Amino acid sequence: MGGSSSLREEARAWLEKNLSGPFAGARGLGGPGREHEGFELRHAWERHLGKHGWTCPAWPERHGGRAASLEDQVACYEEYARADAPARVGHIGEGLIGPTILEFGTDEQKDRFLPAIQRGDEPWRRATSPRRRRCSRCSTRRWRRTGGWTCWSTTPDSAARRRSPCTRSWRR
């Protein structure tokens, strides 16, 4: 239980206060094998987290994060779990897409994608297909549809983004 005790206490108090009222029913929703459970409520919760600066704790402050140390990030996640908060809708954007854009993206990509991920407006998801075909560029499983290759996903259809590195750029 490392991390800054003040950040841990702040996270604990904020979660306790905000996982009540309209979000009381969100406690414990979602998780592995239950990704569709309470998706709209969880997405609203994700936006609420973003509005109050509780998404993307590792990101630089100029991109909406807290520039939190690893210990402080762990403290935030421990308090999130302790509060039985709902499974995050934006974890792929926050933990995979966002850091990749931060490290390798152009300024235009950072301006376009990072604010929406931080606010919780655009949940991203890993896109795969049950078919055995794979994209030769990124090894994502794909299926052919008129006009090109399109990714399928196993997470809720209401998520805003289904992208692989080649969804837009590679056409057959």
Candidates 1.10.540.10, 3.90.1150.10, 3.20.20.70, 3.40.50.720; correct CATH number of 5-119?
1.10.540.10
> Per residue in 82-133, pLDDT tens?
999 999 998 888 999 999 999 999 999 999 999 999 999 988 876 654 554 5
Backbone torsions φ then ψ of 162, nearest 5 degrees? -130, 95
Q: Locate the domains of the chain by residue range.
A: 5-119, 126-172
Output b/e per residue, 2-28; b: 16+ Cβ within 10 A.
ebeeebbeebbebbeebbeeebeebee
Name residue, tokens 């600066």. 53
Q: Which residue has the higher pLDDT, 166 or 65?
A: 65
State yes or no: pLDDT of 149 exceeds 90: no
According to DSSP, residue 59 is labeled S
> Per residue in 25-70, pLDDT tens?
999 999 888 988 999 999 999 999 999 999 999 999 999 999 999 9
Residue 86 has what pLDDT? 96
What is the Cα–Cα distance from 58 to 161, expressed in whole angstroms?
22
